[in-house]
Chain A
């Protein structure tokens, strides 16, 4: 399993887990997760459905107890009950389904939430109510999906939290609304150096705003690190021969996958690609092209490698 992590001191890390495990009955939801999210970063948390993203977030917030391993958020033990309260005082969480109090009016829910956060930003509240065009007198249950997401985001952003933890923040939104939400997140980070840890199925939006990435599959991190480092490590090497590609077995370390198709052999490299290119050239091909992988390809390759 390739893991690309920057060397950082513990205090630089807002989220740090080691060997984190959680099972529900016979299902292993999280299986020894090692995760590091540096302070001030926007970390995209990618994974398939049921990979363990939501369970991980719940463990980090003290909603679910871990079975084994460690989880530290903002330097505090997430499993300790009193630390967990302190973590939530400095963290804003937006759940996948945007859970809110259905029967409260928008204004009442804002007032309710503000009462728990002494550093509540009234200025941001005014700004986002206007920008998101939120109807303060309407009951939450009567809001559209988009409005509901924007309200949940407002309630998160105005807390002046050190960490924003967002589970699928743009799910169910149209592209314009999703863009509005992403811009709000980015502007919060720019103004306050808030750390953002968000899960998503939209790889494009992770590419758009994240500078760190964590890919989880079947409860384990298969990739975690700065997005540029991750991109720099993965390459597609396309080797084209004059006739059908030889049945050569590539032995250079760092080859994640070999795909043969007629005269073309495509090699996915997950490390230093130079020795692989050297080995390919020994086979006397017509051309050897090296190119980067998209984040989507990296995501898919990481999962295939894990399998």
Chain B
């Protein structure tokens, strides 16, 4: 009973972040699906016209190459969904909410006062951390699965279809590898009393990675991006199991370290 209540408390602590996340990701998915007919019109209009491509992205060879790639992927519904959703919007938004959900916890709550009530309950600190981690991981799994599951449901609206299996593979890789962002924020939250500090640090790191990728696109292969988007599954070169396992191992290490910090901390 008491364990269930700890989970309930962890849910209360994170539910608004989670619900907003579900809403935002669901809207992004719906927006992507519903935009497909318009994208097809744009592709038809652009065609092979150099003038049209130049009008859109200018004369930069890199930009032209990227547009060509995007248009090429958008030629099929599966390619469009992957390039827009699983390769771009979902990983970015999902990781943002993973960071937000991972921020806070008993350290910042104790600094605000209410954590002392929790700490006076007859539960171990490991139990406190585990309940928070358990609920957060369940929420993050839902954040990955719900938008993916919407795809097979919404696709018929635009006369397309998307298999649930395909969607779930992407969702599970997004969850499995993106958990690193959650666990890193969770680890930082075991050091910093301010709720916003872990989120700020993580967003700064994510910003730096994005900047580095923009400067040198080849760097993308050394980031989590190919695993988050399950790129190998999309282009048929196989699932990135090693990357996924490495991400999970790093996440587990971060969580163990965070638990140790909380257990040994003075409140």
A95 at the interface (CB under 8 A from B): yes
**Residues in chain B near residue A143, CB distance under 8 A:** none
Cβ of B5 under 8 Å from chain A: yes
Interface-lining segment among B38-46, B121-129, B224-232: B121-129
The answer to whether A63 and B267 have CB atoms under 8 Å apart is yes
Q: Is the interface of B mostly helix, strand, loop or mixed?
A: helix
Whether the Cβ atoms of A112 and B5 lie closer than 8 Å is yes
Contacts of B12 on A, CB cut-off 8 Å?
A: 101, 103-104
User: Does A294 lie at the interface of the complex (its beta carbon under 8 Å from any beta carbon of B)?
Assistant: no
| Residue A279 lies at the interface, judged by CB distance under 8 Å to chain B | no
A93 and chain B: residue at smallest CB distance: B120
Are B116 and A63 in touch, CB under 8 angstroms?
yes
Kindly state the separation between the CA atoms of A121 and B60 in the bound complex, as whole angstroms: 75
By beta carbon, the residue of chain B nearest A100 is B117
Q: Mark A91-114, 1 if CB is under 8 A from B, else 0.
A: 111010101111110000000110
CB within 8 Å for A112 and B120 given contacts A64-B267, A95-B113, A99-B114: no
Contacts of B120 in A (CB 8 A): 61, 63, 88, 91-93, 95
B116:A95 contact, CB within 8 angstroms: yes
Q: Which residues 96-142 of A sit at the B interface, judged by CB distance below 8 A?
A: 97, 99-104, 112-113, 115-117
Q: Of all chain A residues, which has the CB nearest B5? A: A115
A64 touches B266 (CB 8 A): yes
Can you list, as one digit per residue, whether each of B94-136 has a CB less than 8 Å from chain A (1) or not (0)? 0000000000000000000111110111111100000000000
Question: Size of chain B's interface in residues, with CB distance under 8 A?
Answer: 23
Nearest CB on A from B115, distance (A)? 7
Contacts of A65 in B (CB 8 A): 264, 266
For B124, the chain A residues whose CB sits under 8 A away are 81-82, 85
Which residue of A24, A89, A112 is within 8 Å of B122 (Cβ)?
A89
Verify A99–B113 contact, CB threshold 8 A. Answer: yes
Residues of the A chain whose Cβ atoms lie less than 8 Å from the Cβ of B264: 65
Binary A-proximity of B1-25 (CB < 8 A = 1, otherwise 0): 1101100110010000000000000
Determine whether the beta carbon of B5 is less than 8 Å from that of A102. Answer: no
A95 touches B4 (CB 8 A): no
Q: Closest Cβ of chain A: how far from B156's Cβ, in Å?
A: 40
A112 touches B8 (CB 8 A): yes
* B residues near A91, Cβ cutoff 8 Å: 120
The answer to whether residues A85 and B113 also contact, given A65-B264, A115-B5, A116-B2 and a CB cut-off of 8 A, is no
Give me 10 A-to-B residue pairs in the complex whose CB atoms sit less than 8 angstroms apart, sorted by A's number: A58-B267, A81-B124, A93-B116, A95-B120, A99-B114, A112-B5, A115-B1, A115-B2, A115-B4, A116-B121
The answer to whether residues A63 and B5 also contact, given A81-B124, A88-B120, A95-B117 and a CB cut-off of 8 A, is no
B136 to chain A minimum Cβ distance, whole angstroms, is 18
Docked CA distance A116–B121 (Å): 7
- Most chain-A CB neighbours within 10 Å: which of B115, B122, B263? B122
Q: Which of B123, B125, B263, B266 has the most CB of A within 10 A?
A: B266
Using CB atoms and an 8 Å cutoff, list the residues of chain B in contact with chain A.
1-2, 4-5, 8-9, 12, 113-117, 119-125, 263-264, 266-267
Query: A86 interface residue, CB < 8 Å from B?
Result: yes
Add 8 more A-B contacts to A100-B117, A117-B122 (CB < 8 A): A81-B124, A88-B121, A99-B116, A101-B12, A102-B114, A112-B5, A112-B9, A115-B5
List of B residues within 8 angstroms of A93 by Cβ:
116, 120
* A:62-87 near B, CB below 8 Å: 63-65, 81-82, 85-86
Say which residue of A24, A63, A86, A102 sits within 8 Å of B119 (CB atoms).
A63
B114/A100 in contact, CB under 8 A: yes
B165 shortest CB reach to chain A, Å: 40
Contacting residues, chain B, for A115 (C-beta < 8 A): 1-2, 4-5
With most chain B CB atoms within 10 A of its CB, the pick from A24, A58, A82, A115 is A115
Most buried by A among B117, B123, B267: B117
Min distance, Cβ A63 to any Cβ of chain B, angstroms: 5
Which B residues are in CB contact (< 8 Å) with A99? 113-117
CB interface residues, A 10-29, toward B, < 8 Å: 24
A101 with B114: CB separation less than 8 A:
yes
A66 and chain B: residue at smallest CB distance: B266
CB < 8 Å: which of B113, B115, B122 contacts A88? B122
Contacts of A100 in B (CB 8 A): 114, 117
Q: Which residues of chain A come closer than 8 Å to B4, judged between CB atoms?
A: 115
What separation, in Å, do the CA atoms of A128 and B113 have in the docked complex? 24
User: How far apart are the CA atoms of A91 and B122 in the complex, in Å?
Assistant: 9
**Across-interface contacts of A95 in B (CB, < 8 A):** 113, 116-117, 120
Chain B contacts for A113, CB-based, 8 A: 121
Residue of B nearest to A95 (CB): B116
For the complex formed, measure the closest distance between the CB of A86 and the CB atoms of chain B, giving whole angstroms.
7
By CB atoms of chain B within 10 A, which of A24, A82, A104 has the most?
A104
Please state if B122 and A101 are interface contacts (CB–CB under 8 Å).
no
Roughly how many angstroms separate A82 CA and B123 CA in the complex, as a whole number? Answer: 9
Which residues of A sit under 8 angstroms from B122, Cβ to Cβ? 85-86, 88-89, 116-117
Of all chain B residues, the one with the shortest Cβ separation from A165 is B120
Expressed in whole angstroms, the Cα–Cα distance for A283 and B4 within the complex equals 76
A116 to B8 alpha-carbon distance, docked (Å)? 13
Expressed in whole angstroms, the Cα–Cα distance for A94 and B121 within the complex equals 11
Q: Which of A23-65 contact B (CB under 8 A)?
A: 24, 58, 61, 63-65
